[in-house]
Structure 1
């Protein structure tokens, strides 16, 4: 008997269903992966916004004479 058949007999109705990340946490592995993708994308957007803000404050502001304020 192959390993997949043994696994199917052992798991029964749960065979082929996605596992939870932890047994006590109702979060599937694909949901956890999507969460990581979203947070990574959000972090890069935040880094880009921070760089854009820094460029505005550092270079564009003084070019328009706002250096006295800073």
Structure 2
């Protein structure tokens, strides 16, 4: 039995149609470039967040190599 028949037999109203995302009405960066200002702003915020995640991962890696690994006896530093 299909969803529509089941809902009808149970006395339920028809299911509402799925909502689609509203089209991006922000102005384009350039008439020849298919990129809007909202898309550009989201790209900048995403890459900025990614850069900070990368910086944090680099600091964590450096702390592990320099202090945590030698402190736990996993390896010995060549300069120490």
Would you say how many aligned residue pairs link Structure 1 and Structure 2? 54
TM-score under structure 2 length normalisation: 0.61
> Larger Rg: 1 or 2?
2
1:20 correspondence with 2:28 = yes
Give unmatched runs, 5+ long, in structure 1: 1-16
- Write 1 or 2 for the structure with the bigger share of helix: 1
4+ runs of 1 displaced by more than 6 Å? none
DSSP 3-state at the match of 1:21: strand
CA RMSD of aligned residues (A): 1.7
TM-score under structure 1 length normalisation: 0.69
Question: 2:37 aligns to what?
Answer: 29
Give unmatched runs, 5+ long, in structure 2: 1-24
